[in-house]
Amino acid sequence: MNLINIKAVSRKEFYHLIRDFRSMYLAFIIPLLLILMFGYALSLDVDNVKTMVVDHDRTELSRDFIRKLDASSYFKVIYHLRDTVAAIRYLDQGSTTMAVVIPPGWTEDIKADREAQMQVLLDGSDPNFASLSRGYITAFVEAYNRDRFIDFLNRSGKERIEPPVDGRIRVWFNEDLESQNFIVPGIIAIIIMIVGAMLTSLVIAREYENGTMETVRSLPIRGGEFLIGKAIPYFLIALTDVLVAVFMGQVLFGVVMKSSFWLMVLASTIYISVALSLGLLISIATKSQLVANQIAILVTFLPSMLLSNFVFPVENMPKVFQLLTYIVPATYFIDILNGLYLRGLGLDHLWPSYLVLVGMLVVLSNIGFAILKKEGM
Amino acid sequence: MTGLGSDVVYVKDLEKRFGRFVAVDKISFSVKKGEVFGLLGPNGAGKSTTIRMLCGIITPTSGYGRVADHDIFYEAEGIKHSIGYMSQKFSLYEDLTPFENIRFYLGVYEVPPEQWKDRIEWVLDMTRLHDVRDRITRELPPGSRQRLALGCALLHRPEILFLDEPTSGVDPITRRHFWGFIDHLAGEGVTVFVTTHYMDEARSCERIVMINEGKIVVTGSPSEIISEVFPDTPDSDLNDVFIELMSGRDS
Amino acid sequence: MSWIRIRELARKEFIQLFRDKKNRPLLIIAPFVQLLVFGYVLSTDVRDVRVGIIDQSRTRESRMLRDSLEANQTFRITHYKDHPKELEEILLRRKVDLAVKIGPDFSERIRRGDSSPIQILADGSMSNMASVKIAYTSLVLDKLNQNLIRELYHQKMDYGKIDARIRTWYNPNLESRNFYVPGIVAFLVMLLTLLLTSIAIIREKEVGTMEQLIVTPMKPYELILGKTIPYIIIALAHMIAVTLFAIFWFHIPMVGSAFLLFFAICLFLLSTLGIGLFISTVSSTQQQAMMTTFFFFIPFFMLSGFVFPIASMPTVFQWLTYLNPLRYILIIIRGIFLKGVGLGVLWPEFLSLMVLGLIVFASAVKRFRKRLD
């Protein structure tokens, strides 16, 4: 390896990039924009579930119940309907996802200390949304019943009974249960992987298509040096992207890192290198822009999104796919980011993930250089 | 129009700018029916730009031009049934076979399907590509590919054939052969408009326009031009004229 | 309009597309790989909550607590620990989702009639699933409390309370797969048509064959039709294959009309082909086209409701999704697959998709000029 050669090539590539506004825009601005946009827009939190109520009872108590439902931050009553048929039509349309039906005689049952049935219709198509809504309505009804119970004890002249088991649930790592806290780091991992692998794969496949690689063969520079030189500017751009994204994440979304900043920089450095060497390998193997691009999408975007424990937990997958997650770099980077951002962990806990990423880097780049060597570069 | 008579190409003050760069600077000339017409000039003189404006590939900046009785500004599409064009870069589909390429252009030019069989035979005969009709074009030698390109440009029997540096990168034997064929076409009444920077080829043209840096330098038949530029030395040839005109005087 | 021209151009596209051996796996295998991965991987179901526990009490009551946790199919006690530090450690290392600490005086307090606190630590990092896990935990504790009260006071405690009967419609078992798999059709069709149409046109420009096409009498709209028809056919073939696969392999119930689905995809193609054409008019190299395609595609995908619900987005972004054809087609696909609804309900989405498609396609065609400068 000759550092001066590498420097010369990367300087050339850098000039290209800076002059070519469009590439610069694609390499730097777009990824940042995507991270910020998604960080702001994407959320799996559910609040203000659009709710319909069908009140067949129309009493003081039922109206009070509906008022309480609307006042809670989880539900928003948007339709008061006369019958269930109308509610079903709205569910079909998807304009609301829940209907609460209070049957006639409901108040009477409660006043007579009987169980009063109430029907809840829930649109289950989106399971994530539906199970959260179901959790909320169950908890809401439980809380309502608890009040009724205390009221009952007071009425029957008993002293107040505490619940025997007082479950004090404390949430760790993401105390406010905000989905942004895990979506933002995951988005960073996905976008950086795509951009890193795709940019390098395209840039180098282009060299093959244009025949530049043949010329390089005749120069006193090795193929490996040439490729590293080409990749360095993209490395720097991607690293800047990450740092800006982290900074903005903190300022705009309040996604605060609990652990060391430098550990994050270290992890990003390794991860970006993995992404770039993956791109290099793809382009060396395919030598065609179109194919390189499609393969880069196939091996970066979907795996980083789906097989990385980002939003879809590994535990839920069939065994084969669980095994696949072990070879996806984003799995480890997301694990590290999760540890640094949410758990406040240090290297003593996270070293295995760092180590695997380094291992991937070594393996990928060596395969790439081995192929190059075989081709006589 | 203005008494053009048998002019199939007529150009007046034609100009093309790319931003501030003037590629073609208000040139005027005309080409008669059945003529072999040569547009000569060094690399970057504006030959290709001119030919591409005449074929409707790019729009002129200003001026006036007619090709086969159609205005090149407003009726560019009307020109296209009457012309064949062969660009300096091989521009057929390299991943198709010669047969597939020919068939494609037959379809594009709306040659009636019942004539396809005869046309395909005709072109393959003319270009001597019968043996390789089902090979991938990419694998053919440059000479065969060039013949195929010419064949495809002639498929629809155009009145005017535009050839943009048709023989660049082709060996001398193939070139001679090629020009023999051009003469043959001209004999059949096809107008041939050709650009080149090979002076030996230019000699085969009936009339020549030489341009440099977008401007017309000289017009006439090869012998007229020689005697105009070198009135005193009768044994000069076009090469001398070319070097004389392009290298010295006006720059 | 010349049908011969369009037919020959489409024919040529097909030959080129399938002659390149590298394209075949991408056209044929890639969609199925993607479908399989999506189908098996996309799941946010809360089925298995791993619990670590310290029981310093070891009494009948603490047994009751453990039993009622495990009686609920969702919870599984995977770790028994002795020291709180160990418990926190396995929570940190993501070995468990929930850590339960039962103190030594747990039973005594209950028997005394006091409220006996137990500490429960929940891993909140995946907040959506954590919320569901916490809700389940509360349910278990509530049930336990009812049993304990009944036992302690030996008395019926019937009071007027609400019995909420929750009926889940369309996807009664809340199967993630039923929600995600049908949408993959739209995802695949969009990716394919965006990329291939823009590339198909740019390649001609890059290789120089466009110049030859321009000097032919081919009309711009014939060029556009000839270039897009092959991809419409491929996209529809993909759609049929993927739909059949979803129904017969993943057993996704399809309640509604297949014909309507086909019609919807055709309308959807109008938008995606239009965007593909548009990209081809703003790019000059294949590389630019591919990058532009992809950076169009990611926001379309993310802001479509495919994974992240539109209702959870900030209002501005909710408005933005109205410009996203993927939004409409997903509502339509899910409506047809899961709800079995028809045009009577879905007409606004069909209409929006058509209007959007026509606008996009028309403006792309308008931009598309048959000259090189």
Same domain, C284 and C306: yes
Mutate to test the interface with C, among A42, A115, A159, A165 (most CBs of C within 10 A): A165
What would the mean pLDDT of A204-214 be, rounded to a whole number?
A: 78
Task: With cut-offs at 50, 70 and 90, classify the pLDDT of residue A335.
Answer: very high
Of residues C171 and B248, the one with the higher pLDDT is C171
Same domain, C310 and C202: yes
Q: For the domain that residue A89 is a member of, what is the CATH number?
A: 3.40.1710.10
> Tokens 């005086």 appear where?
C105
Same domain, C99 and C240: no
Q: Output the pLDDT for position B13.
A: 93
Burial B74-95 (b: 16+ CB within 10 A, else e): eebebbbebbbbbbbbbbbbbe
Please tell me the distance from the alpha carbon of residue C109 to that of residue A341, in angstroms, as a whole number: 39
List C-alpha distances in Å: B16 to B45, B60, B212: 12, 5, 14
3-state secondary structure of A50: strand
Contact A334, A308 (CB under 8 A): yes
Same domain, A58 and A150: yes
pLDDT in tens, C42-80: 888 888 899 999 999 889 888 989 998 888 888 999 999
Is the Cβ pair C167, A122 closer than 8 Å? Answer: yes
Same domain, A9 and A54: no
Q: Does B96 touch chain C (CB under 8 A)?
A: yes
Same domain, C344 and C207: yes
Residue A21: left (phi > 0), alpha (psi -120 to 50), or beta? alpha
Q: For residue C44, list chain A residues with Cβ-Cβ distance below 8 A.
A: 44, 127-128, 131, 311-313, 316
Helix, strand, coil: what percent of chain C each, to 5? 70, 10, 25
Same domain, C211 and C327: yes
Those chains having 3 or more beta-carbon pairs within 8 angstroms of chain C are: A, B
Is the Cβ pair C12, B104 closer than 8 Å? Answer: yes
- List the single residue in C110, C168, C299 with the smallest CB-CB distance to A124: C168
Give domain limits for chain B.
Answer: 1-82+158-251, 90-156
Is the Cβ pair A130, C307 closer than 8 Å? Answer: no
Q: Does some domain include residue C373?
A: no
Is the Cβ pair A164, C148 closer than 8 Å? Answer: yes
Q: For residue A114, list chain C residues with Cβ-Cβ distance below 8 A.
A: 158, 160
pLDDT in tens, B207-223: 999 998 889 988 988 88
Q: Output the pLDDT for position C154.
A: 65
When divided into structural domains, chain C yields a total of 2
Q: Does C142 touch chain B (CB under 8 A)?
A: no
Same domain, A220 and A92: no
pLDDT in tens, C283-315: 888 877 887 888 788 899 999 999 888 988 999
Mutate to test the interface with C, among A46, A61, A125 (most CBs of C within 10 A): A125
- List the single residue in C46, C65, C165 with the smallest CB-CB distance to A165: C65
Same domain, C180 and C81: no
Q: Is C210 a residue whose pLDDT tops 50?
A: yes
Q: Does some domain include residue C244?
A: yes
Q: Does B110 touch chain C (CB under 8 A)?
A: yes
Q: Does C287 touch chain A (CB under 8 A)?
A: yes
Q: Does B81 touch chain C (CB under 8 A)?
A: yes
Of A140, A117, A126, the residue nearest C169 (C-alpha): A126
Side-chain half-sphere exposure of B197, counting CA atoms within 13 A: 15
> Tokens 């008061």 appear where?
A80
Q: Output the pLDDT for position B126.
A: 85
**C345–chain B nearest CA distance, Å:** 45
> Tokens 């991408």 appear where?
C26
By percentage, how much of chain C surpasses pLDDT 90? Answer: 35
**A269–chain C nearest CA distance, Å:** 23
Rg (CA), chain B: 19
Q: For residue B100, list chain C residues with Cβ-Cβ distance below 8 A.
A: 12, 15
What would the mean pLDDT of C106-118 be, rounded to a whole number?
A: 85
Q: Is A111 a residue whose pLDDT tops 80?
A: yes
Q: Mean pLDDT in chain A?
A: 86
- In terms of CA atoms, which chain A residue is nearest residue C164? A118
Q: At the top level of CATH, which class does the domain B1-82+158-251 belong to? A: alpha beta
Q: Does some domain include residue C83?
A: yes
Task: With cut-offs at 50, 70 and 90, classify the pLDDT of residue C156.
Answer: low
Is the Cβ pair A113, C159 closer than 8 Å? Answer: yes
Give this prediction's pTM: 0.86
Is the Cβ pair B77, C213 closer than 8 Å? Answer: no
Is the Cβ pair C9, B104 closer than 8 Å? Answer: yes
- List the single residue in C9, C15, C214 with the smallest CB-CB distance to B96: C15
Q: Output the pLDDT for position C330.
A: 95
Q: Mean pLDDT in chain C?
A: 88
What would the mean pLDDT of A312-336 be, rounded to a whole number?
A: 91
DSSP state of A161: P
Is the Cβ pair A316, C174 closer than 8 Å? Answer: no
Q: Is C252 a residue whose pLDDT tops 50?
A: yes
Q: Is B161 a residue whose pLDDT tops 90?
A: yes
Is the Cβ pair A94, C335 closer than 8 Å? Answer: yes
What amino acid is encoded at B188 in this protein?
E
- In terms of CA atoms, which chain A residue is nearest residue C110? A164
List C-alpha distances in Å: C252 to A47, B81, C177, C256, C343: 29, 55, 8, 12, 21
By percentage, how much of chain C surpasses pLDDT 70? Answer: 98
Q: Does C123 touch chain A (CB under 8 A)?
A: yes
Question: Would you state the structure tokens that stand for residue B205, as one six-digit string?
Answer: 């043209």
> Taking chain A, what is the end-to-end CA distance rounded to the nearest angstrom?
13
Same domain, C179 and C36: yes
What would the mean pLDDT of A117-142 be, rounded to a whole number?
A: 90
Contact A175, A344 (CB under 8 A): no
pLDDT in tens, A13-37: 777 777 766 667 777 888 888 888 8
When divided into structural domains, chain A yields a total of 2
**C371–chain B nearest CA distance, Å:** 5
Residues near A217 by Cβ (< 8 Å), separated by ≥ 6? A223, A376, A377
> Tokens 């010669």 appear where?
B98
Q: Is C155 a residue whose pLDDT tops 90?
A: no
Mutate to test the interface with B, among C215, C225, C227, C369 (most CBs of B within 10 A): C215
Same domain, C214 and C264: yes
pLDDT in tens, C211-244: 888 888 888 889 889 999 999 999 999 999 989 9
Q: Does C26 touch chain A (CB under 8 A)?
A: yes
Q: For residue C219, list chain B residues with Cβ-Cβ distance below 8 A.
A: 77
Q: Is A134 a residue whose pLDDT tops 50?
A: yes
Please tell me the distance from the alpha carbon of residue A201 to that of residue A281, in angstroms, as a whole number: 8
Same domain, C92 and C202: no
**C275–chain B nearest CA distance, Å:** 25
- List the single residue in B57, B94, B110 with the smallest CB-CB distance to C215: B57
**B134–chain C nearest CA distance, Å:** 13
Q: For residue C110, list chain A residues with Cβ-Cβ distance below 8 A.
A: 164-165
pLDDT in tens, B99-143: 999 999 999 998 899 999 999 999 998 888 889 989 999 999 888
Structural domain harbouring A299: 3-43+178-374
Q: Does some domain include residue C80?
A: yes
Same domain, C220 and C346: yes
List C-alpha distances in Å: A51 to A90, A121, A199, C225, C292: 10, 10, 46, 46, 40
- List the single residue in C44, C142, C148 with the smallest CB-CB distance to A142: C142
Same domain, C232 and C272: yes
Same domain, A62 and A190: no
Q: Does some domain include residue A65?
A: yes
Q: Does some domain include residue C9?
A: yes
Residue B111: left (phi > 0), alpha (psi -120 to 50), or beta? beta
Contact C167, A119 (CB under 8 A): yes
Is the Cβ pair C44, A166 closer than 8 Å? Answer: no
Task: With cut-offs at 50, 70 and 90, classify the pLDDT of residue B1.
Answer: very low
Q: Does C23 touch chain B (CB under 8 A)?
A: no
Q: Is A249 a residue whose pLDDT tops 50?
A: yes
Q: Does some domain include residue C165?
A: no
Last residue of a domain, one of C92, C123, C153: C153
Q: Is B248 a residue whose pLDDT tops 70?
A: no
Q: Does some domain include residue A186?
A: yes
Q: For residue C211, list chain B residues with Cβ-Cβ distance below 8 A.
A: 52, 57, 85, 87, 91
- List the single residue in C7, C20, C208 with the smallest CB-CB distance to B107: C7
Is the Cβ pair A172, C122 closer than 8 Å? Answer: yes
Last residue of a domain, one of A96, A124, A155: A155
Structural domain harbouring C13: 3-43+175-367
Is the Cβ pair C20, B110 closer than 8 Å? Answer: no
User: For A74-83, A211-220, B41-50, B131-140, which range has the lowest pLDDT when averaged over its residues?
Assistant: A211-220
DSSP state of C321: G
Task: With cut-offs at 50, 70 and 90, classify the pLDDT of residue A43.
Answer: confident
Same domain, A204 and A273: yes
Q: Does some domain include residue C161?
A: no
Rounded to the nearest 10°, the torsion over CA C135, C138, C144, C145 is -140
Q: Does C309 touch chain A (CB under 8 A)?
A: yes
Same domain, C318 and C224: yes
- In terms of CA atoms, which chain C residue is nearest residue A177? C127
pLDDT in tens, C179-203: 999 999 899 899 888 888 888 888 8
Please tell me the distance from the alpha carbon of residue A129 to that of residue A118, in angstroms, as a whole number: 21
Beta bridge partners of B69: none
Q: Does B91 touch chain C (CB under 8 A)?
A: yes
Q: Is B250 a residue whose pLDDT tops 60?
A: no
List, edge to edge, every strand of the sheet that includes B160-164.
Answer: B83-86, B160-164, B191-196, B36-40, B207-212, B215-220
Those chains having 3 or more beta-carbon pairs within 8 angstroms of chain B are: C
Q: Does some domain include residue A127?
A: yes
Last residue of a domain, one of A140, A155, A170: A155
Task: With cut-offs at 50, 70 and 90, classify the pLDDT of residue B2.
Answer: very low
Q: Does some domain include residue C225?
A: yes
What would the mean pLDDT of C37-45 be, rounded to a whole number?
A: 86
Please tell me the distance from the alpha carbon of residue C253 to that of residue B89, in angstroms, as a whole number: 56
Chains B and C touch (3+ CB pairs under 8 A): yes
